[in-house]
Chain A
Amino acid sequence: MKNKNKKGLYLPVDAKINDVIDLTPDVKLYKLRKPQSFFYSPGQFVMASIWGAGEVPISITSTSEIHQDIELCIRKAGFVTSALHRLNPGDSIGIRGPLGNRFPFEDAYGKDVLFIAGGIGIAPLRSLINLVIEKRKNFGKIALIYGSKTPTEVLFMPETQNWKENGIDLTLTIDVECKEWECSFGLVTEHINRQSISFESGYAFICGPHVMINAAMHDLSLLGMPAENIITTIEAHMKCGVGKCGHCYSDGRYVCTDGPVFSYAEIREFGMASP
Chain B
Amino acid sequence: MKDEFVLSKTNLPYWLRQLRKKADLIGPLRSLNGDIIFSSIVNIHEMILDCPASIPSPKEFLFPQKEEMYKFSQKGVNTLNDNGKRIIFGVRSCDISAIALLDRFYGGLLEDDFYMSRRRNTCFISIACNNPDPTCFCSGLGTGPALKTGFDLQFTDLGDRYLVQAGSREGLRMINGFMHLFLLPEKADRDDQYEVLLSSQSIFEKRITLENVRQKILAGKVPDSFWESVASRCFECGGCVYECPLCTCFNVIDWKEKDNKGTRMRLWDTCMFKGFTKMAGNVLPAGKKIMRTKRWYFHKLLYYPEQFGRFGCVGCGRCTITCPGRIDIATIANKLD
Contact = CB atoms under 8 A, between A and B. Distances in A.
A190 B251 CA distance: 40
B279 A250 contact: no
A273 B286 CA distance: 7
Given A55-B252, A237-B279, A250-B285, A9 B111 contact: yes
B110 A257 contact: yes
Nearest to A275: B285
Given A51-B77, A245-B252, A273-B285, A2 B109 contact: yes
B334 interface: no
Interface string B100-116: 00000110011111100
Interface string A233-275: 0011101101111111111100001000000000000000111
A10 B69 contact: yes
Interface of B is mostly: mixed
* Most interface-central of B69, B109, B248, B298 (chain A CB within 10 A): B109
A53 B260 CA distance: 10
A7 B295 contact: no
Given A51-B77, A250-B285, A252-B306, A244 B110 contact: yes
Interface in A66-108: 77-78, 81
Given A54-B252, A236-B279, A252 B79 contact: no
Given A51-B72, A51-B260, A251-B298, A246 B271 contact: yes
Contacts, number: 108
A246 B283 CA distance: 17
A245 B72 contact: no
Interface residues of B, number: 47
Interface string B211-254: 00000000000000000000000000000000000001111111
A242 B79 contact: no
B204 interface: no
Interface of B: 69-70, 72, 77, 79, 81, 105-106, 109-114, 248-254, 256, 260, 262, 264, 266, 269, 271, 276-281, 283-287, 291, 295, 298-299, 302-303, 306-307
